[in-house]
């Protein structure tokens, strides 16, 4: 299967830790990347692998992987982290990209 | 700083062909080993990858759209384009262009355009 499944929504108290998971068979073979999208804006690249972040992305964002599941962790969530998050990887052919279903993160 | 900007008609009639162009500034579209990609997002829904091409013109398309999609590049204008034929209301979405860093064992979309809304309606 080339699908990447995410929980539709999660919430986190300000300053606490939230984990966003992404499941799919292709994740056993390929790295995932993560994107943050705020309303009315283009997605922003956040991370690939464990700690490979572009400049400007805080180190409270980290990643992990186990089997067919990858996880984006936000340690010490801030109000500005409230957004939709999408994982992204390849399908089983390796030549096509697939986005996850997306997770809405609410910071309480 | 690389910037991408989508352009094209915001309204397309059913059964016609949607055509969009992405203009790249702040760097040459031919430099570096990048792919150039299109992604779309219907209102209130998730992201859908449409396809990609490299600077040699080699393409890969989403299998679900492959029969209707063509992505091409014009290096002289620093642009790449999307054509989606036989559109229906289901093709109404915000369309994004993006640059892809693809090192096989990892990849990511590092620069995105702001997106352009295309509505399919008569």
pLDDT tens-digit map of B34-81: 999 999 999 999 999 999 999 888 999 999 999 999 999 999 999 999
| Beta-sheet pairing, B116-120 with B93-102 | antiparallel
* Residue B88: partners with Cβ closer than 8 Å, 6 or more residues away: B14, B15, B120
A interface test, pick of B22, B109, B111 with most A CB neighbours within 10 Å: B109
pLDDT of A1 > 60? The answer is: no
pLDDT at A22: 97
Find out whether A89 and A27 touch, Cβ atoms under 8 Å: yes
Chain B interface residues facing chain A, Cβ-Cβ under 8 Å? 37, 39, 46-49, 52, 60-63, 96, 100, 104-110, 112-115
Which residue reads 């991408």 in tokens?
A: B4
pLDDT of A2 > 70? The answer is: no
DSSP A79: G
Find out whether B5 and B17 touch, Cβ atoms under 8 Å: no
pLDDT at A89: 94
pLDDT tens-digit map of A34-85: 999 999 999 999 999 888 999 999 999 999 999 999 999 999 999 999 999 9
A positions 42-101 inside 8 Å of B (CB): 42-45, 48-49, 52, 54, 86, 88, 90, 94-101
| Beta-sheet pairing, B3-7 with A69-74 | unpaired
DSSP B91: G
Phi, psi angle pair for A22, to nearest 5°: -140, 125
Q: Facing residues of B70 across strands?
A: B83
pLDDT tens-digit map of B69-118: 999 999 999 999 999 999 999 999 999 999 999 987 889 999 999 999 99
């Amino acid at each position: 299967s080339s699908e990447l499944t995410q929980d539709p929504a999660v919430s986190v108290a300000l300053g606490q830790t939230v984990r966003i998971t992404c499941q799919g068979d292709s994740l056993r073979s390929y790295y995932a990347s993560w994107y943050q999208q705020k309303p009315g804006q283009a997605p922003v690249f956040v991370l690939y692998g464990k700690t490979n972040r572009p400049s400007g992305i805080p180190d409270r964002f980290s990643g992990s992987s186990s089997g067919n599941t990858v996880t984006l962790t936000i340690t010490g969530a801030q109000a500005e982290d409230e957004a939709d998050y999408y994982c992204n990887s390849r399908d089983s052919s390796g030549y096509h990209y697939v986005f996850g279903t997306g997770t809405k993160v609410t910071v309480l | 700083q690389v910037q991408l900007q989508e352009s094209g008609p915001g309204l397309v009639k059913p059964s016609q062909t949607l055509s969009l162009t992405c203009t790249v500034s702040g760097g040459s579209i031919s430099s570096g080993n990048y792919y150039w990609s299109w992604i779309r997002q219907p209102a209130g829904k998730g992201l859908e990858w449409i396809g990609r091409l490299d600077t040699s013109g080699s393409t890969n398309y989403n299998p679900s759209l492959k029969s209707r999609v063509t992505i091409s590049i014009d290096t002289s204008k620093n642009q790449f384009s999307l054509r989606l034929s036989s559109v229906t209301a289901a093709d109404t979405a915000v369309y994004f262009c993006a640059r892809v860093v693809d090192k096989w064992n990892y990849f990511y979309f590092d620069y995105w355009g702001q997106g352009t809304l295309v509505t399919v309606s008569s």
